[in-house]
Structure 1
């Protein structure tokens, strides 16, 4: 009797919760891989062969920052969030505060990176490209694409750290829900690629704009998840948009410097793209950078002290 009852017992070769989690993460990884590498497929379908080389060059140069700087930050943060937080509701208050400080601090850094690149990137990118890129590549679509990378790089940073937090704290249900939204975002990416590159005439640069839209949607989803995560644990005040935004005087300073550097570019753009030929333009840029740094030091001294304390603890 015991023999037959043992035969009728259902044998489980896998742990059911772990198997469901693995399946959800596998589906999510496939969708993310398409969103990450989908631009290469789209460019092969929409762009002529002569422009595909320029896109590859720009993509490789632009992704260097992500691989060298952002990826270590994301991996380290993912490990920290996984250790400090769990999916249960009884997380210690100290752990919540520490995780929120790390998340907000990194987002503050990336906000300033966005201000810095958005202010000084477009006026000085032509000079930088003339120095970094070989001369034969300047005639391809690479310079136009790298101009858009000025905004794409900060968006990669925002999305990377927010999705690192999501991956560290999400439940299997959260992963399945995100996978469904990622499918919607992939459709939006394909549609935006066609609209920007074909109908708006942006060419390969339109694919980068489509990637920016895609990353903005993914980052927004992860940001809403992070806010809900802390709100459910009565700590919603620790994570807010106001906490990562720079003070108004700092924003005004960057805006004024953006106007000044663009005027300087207009005055000196017809000069040779060499350091000597663009020296007055460079002097203007250095002065504006110093002004922005002074504004940050004056109006964000407490924030920088907090950043230093957070990274010392980390």
Structure 2
């Protein structure tokens, strides 16, 4: 199966998993809204930030580093026989004429001589005797990291949180749940390295079901027993999620470990890559980890501190500057508006990071200095230049393919964003009345969600562009990004203060502060992408992706046209939110058709590409 096909299938698996997971979470949230006040929802959101912070600092940099390691794929992307990497290694020992995953001259008869003659880029993909053990070992680093982060963040949260609504107990449960989920990270790393996305989708879907059952079960029991348990239902649901996730992952990887002979616990004795020369003894750290991955993860971790503040800083700022009611209103709008991002964009971003990282794999682990002072990426590129013209042409073809695929993804995102901006702001208020009730609408949640619709396109574009940056950036470029992120965090804080304190816009002001922050990050990422392709000698025109005149006009004028048309269809005095939303849906059909017709040539090209 081609790399692009595997990524498409993986993205489909994750999309379906997200559809089930978020659908269940959405349904559970709709029920819980009947039991919750805005203040409780605000507290639950703060606890979720604590939980997500533990997971982010413990595993995010490790996941990126693991995806950029040249680890041999598993059966899903392996040979037609479906052999595993370890099984193929044993087969090669007995039959040296066996075809390999990595392209190799079939005329070479002696395995030792063939290894010596392989270019370094090919050797990197044959790093170790057990690629599976490499992934397992790397994943276990997340557990002690998570324990430290949980203790530090837990102490900080207790100093500023209230003791009401069982917050201290819920905080402890969230911490335990995060460590259980991190204990499954080695198994996630193994399945991700093999690109076995179906197993991951099944595990996360089962865990999502358990979370819904745990949350609703606790809330229903408390309601029947007439006991006030505050935010404990959310904590119970998260604990159930972690337990089921770990159990399902173990059920998937246990047979693999038994059949292939690797351990589900950390095991030493990893072998360095071939032909490492003087670096051979220092390339492996403690016999467990590869130094490039560890160094890159450490570099990304430093950047992650700033990035996480930018990602979750909205909740931190609103908890300091906004009232409890405003916190709950923003949390509700963020949950509904962010549902689109989590359902559609997150799987695409993860697959893009994996796809581009492996497609442009030469020099991707660029953090280990060579003995002459260069980096791994410098060595890999110099080796390409020293090869014949075909190698240079192949490299350029690969980068051109990446540029083409990235352009298609960005264009799809822009078209989708056009529809969201054209329809979302006018449809948000009646949608909130239907989904959350008139009480939440009276608190201004509909207006906040309407403004959030302008933030969704920026959220999508930033996720995709930063996914590409993380796939190809060198260590030096990651440090540069960290400095810019620090500047953007200051801009975000200043914007938040202005909109929340000076302009007194409460939850809506936080949406505008996020828009300012996200726009800064997108500009930086786009500039990086342009420079990257320019250095590779490939043309990448970002301006060519901009929407046409029809789509641009739709973004500005469509909300007013839809609102006026809906009023004409219903007449004056109709207040039923369902009827208003239905009328807006009818009025939006011509807008969507106009946008589609204006981009018909691109859609036809996309369809032909999909057929191929």
Distance (whole Å) between structure 1 residues aligned to residue 550 and residue 470 of structure 2: 35
Cα gap change, 1:306 to 1:292, in 2 (>3 Å)? closer
Q: Provide Cα deviations, 1:163-206, integer angstroms capped at 9, x if missing partner.
A: 00000000010111111111111111110001112212321111
CA displacement at 1:277 relative to structure 2: 5.2
The alignment's TM-score, normalised by the length of structure 2, stands at: 0.45
Which segment drifts farther, 271-280 or 122-131?
271-280
Contact 2:426–2:562 (CA under 8 A) maintained in structure 1? yes
Contact 1:111–1:246 (CA under 8 A) maintained in structure 2? yes
CA displacement at 1:288 relative to structure 2: 2.7
Distance (whole Å) between structure 2 residues aligned to residue 16 and residue 283 of structure 1: 58
Contact 1:272–1:278 (CA under 8 A) maintained in structure 2? no
Contact 1:123–1:265 (CA under 8 A) maintained in structure 2? no
CA displacement at 1:219 relative to structure 2: 1.5
Corresponding position of 1:6: none
Cα gap change, 1:258 to 1:23, in 2 (>3 Å)? same
CA displacement at 1:31 relative to structure 2: 1.5
Corresponding position of 1:64: 339
CA displacement at 1:19 relative to structure 2: 4.5
Distance (whole Å) between structure 2 residues aligned to residue 280 and residue 166 of structure 1: 42
Corresponding position of 1:137: 440
Distance (whole Å) between structure 2 residues aligned to residue 111 and residue 123 of structure 1: 19
Corresponding position of 2:604: 305
Corresponding position of 2:500: 197
Within 5 A, what are the aligned runs for 1:95-174? Answer: 95-174=398-477
Corresponding position of 1:46: 321
Contact 1:196–1:207 (CA under 8 A) maintained in structure 2? yes
Q: Which runs of 5+ in 1 are unaligned?
A: 1-10
* Bigger radius of gyration among the two: 2
Cα gap change, 1:184 to 1:269, in 2 (>3 Å)? farther
From 481, 485, 495, the counterpart of 1:182: 485
Contact 1:24–1:175 (CA under 8 A) maintained in structure 2? yes
Task: State the superposition RMSD in angstroms.
Answer: 2.5
Distance (whole Å) between structure 2 residues aligned to residue 175 and residue 243 of structure 1: 27
Higher helix share: 1
Cα gap change, 1:165 to 1:310, in 2 (>3 Å)? farther
Q: In the alignment, does 2:521 pair up with 1:218? A: yes
The alignment's TM-score, normalised by the length of structure 1, stands at: 0.85
Q: Which runs of 5+ in 2 are unaligned?
A: 1-280, 364-376, 385-393
CA displacement at 1:240 relative to structure 2: 1.7
Cα gap change, 1:19 to 1:217, in 2 (>3 Å)? same
Distance (whole Å) between structure 2 residues aligned to residue 278 and residue 160 of structure 1: 30
Contact 1:62–1:149 (CA under 8 A) maintained in structure 2? yes
From 233, 237, 243, the counterpart of 2:544: 243
Work out which structure has the larger RCO, using CA pairs closer than 8 Å and 6 or more positions apart in sequence: 1
Corresponding position of 2:531: 228
- SS state at 1:272 partner: coil
